[in-house]
Structure 1
């Protein structure tokens, strides 16, 4: 019975993978510039967060590189963090993360990807990282809500769990359900996002929401800005501001 089940799953993935390969170069939810899965991508963003204990500023370099038939891609995040709190006022490298995504299904209007990410315990200072190695697994779904493909919905379900690291730091076990709506017009887009989180370790809900405006300089370069708010019991921050530059090549 198990062999039959696994064979069926493998066959379905092969069919889905073939579907993804056939349409990957066409317009589809996962080829949208803001969430691109198929081109080499450089994303540089700066995020400022105000918390009850001071401020944190993160400048992050993200590089995405498709591999194979472009149904797979690799992603690396290298954050530089600055803090301004009562205890710490300095800068350093945060926890570097590496992720791999696979796209088992894609059509002109729908698509989903599976992502696995490992965040290393590599921060140059304990204040700049979690002190843990963290495994994050996610399912990403994209769907055009309008026939003209101007309204896009992206949803992500993710679990973040620590599996190694400092015994003096809290275990990480967080579930995330994130929804984003983007409306495109001309060279511009506006969007809104809400991320609902449950921290099983602290029994808290560090949720967040943002609104976003973005504009393309060229078909392959763009910037965005989004102010955000944290909310919920044991929220991670009060308010924030993120600025980003995206380059596809």
Structure 2
């Protein structure tokens, strides 16, 4: 199973790279990575709150995410500052989670499709062991995006792997591969999205999958809000159900 997933990831990236040799790069304003929900070319502030119900209690994460394009805007920096609250056995705790930073690069896209790469580093910086993994984690990822039906629909496929490389020897290693498909339907100032993530945890030797349904709306041309409930499934699922609400500011 492990080799099958890894081979699939490699094949996925090679196929996209081969496709990228066809056609010319076009103006960034016309590409699928310019959509407000996943905009790589504008400065972005994303503030969201996610509640997760688990078998050991609940986790609530309030996250501030900042994205900043650099250079010719094919590059993008990302910073995440999570504040986590837990409620387990009637004990409430709140503190800083694992702070993360990343960089994205879009080497190619056309009017209707394109692909990007991203690498993130999650630090072992949580204020309490229950707020983080206790590890430093590197997360490389590849994305393929494609419009359908005259930009009415957008598909974003993701291959991502999380791997710990340092941190507390008393905590479990992190080794997880994610295959994700996100479909968005745009209508008026609104969008509706569905997502299924197949996530395999090599340490636990089991799946930690999830799926969500998202509804979002443009409040103004540069301010958006969304809500999405989610449910987890698989033999080693990390939570039962959750709900996330967010506000996106583009400038």
Q: TM-score, normalised on structure 1?
A: 0.90
Per-residue Cα deviation, 1:120-155 (whole angstroms, up to 9, x for no partner): 000011100000000000001110022x20100001
For residues 74-122 of structure 1, the C-alpha deviation after alignment (integer angstroms, 9 at most, x for no partner) is 0000000000001742100000000000001111100111000000000
Q: What corresponds to 1:201 in structure 2?
A: 203
Give me the whole-angstrom Cα distance separating, in 2, the residues matched to 1:211 and 1:180: 10
> How far, CA to CA, are the matches of 2:90 and 2:179 in structure 1?
33
What does 1:120-159 correspond to in 2, within 5 Å? 120-146=123-149, 148-159=150-161
Q: In the aligned structure 1, how far is the partner of 2:219 from the partner of 2:90?
A: 41
Question: In the alignment, which residue of structure 1 is the partner of 2:116?
Answer: 113
Instruction: Flag structure 1 segments of 5+ consecutive residues without an equivalent.
Output: 1-11
SS class of match (1:171):
coil
Aligned to 2:37: 34
Q: Secondary structure at the match of 2:92?
A: coil
| Other-structure match for 1:23 | 27
Q: Supply the distance in 1 between the matched residues of 2:233 and 2:24 (Cα, whole angstroms).
A: 40
Q: How many residues align?
A: 233
Unmatched segments (≥5 aa) in structure 2? 1-16
2-structure distance, mates of 1:44, 1:82: 16
RMSD of aligned alpha carbons: 1.7
Moved over 4 A (4+): none
Contact 1:23 1:106 in 2 (8 A): no
Match of 1:243 in 2: 245
Written as runs of structure 1 = structure 2, the 5 A alignment for 1:77-226 is: 77-86=80-89, 88-146=91-149, 148-226=150-228
1:7 is matched with: none
Q: Distance in 1 between matches of 2:56 and 2:170?
A: 20
- Other-structure match for 1:54: 57
CA distance in 2: counterparts of 1:182 and 1:121, whole angstroms: 34
SS of equivalent residue, structure 1 residue 89:
strand
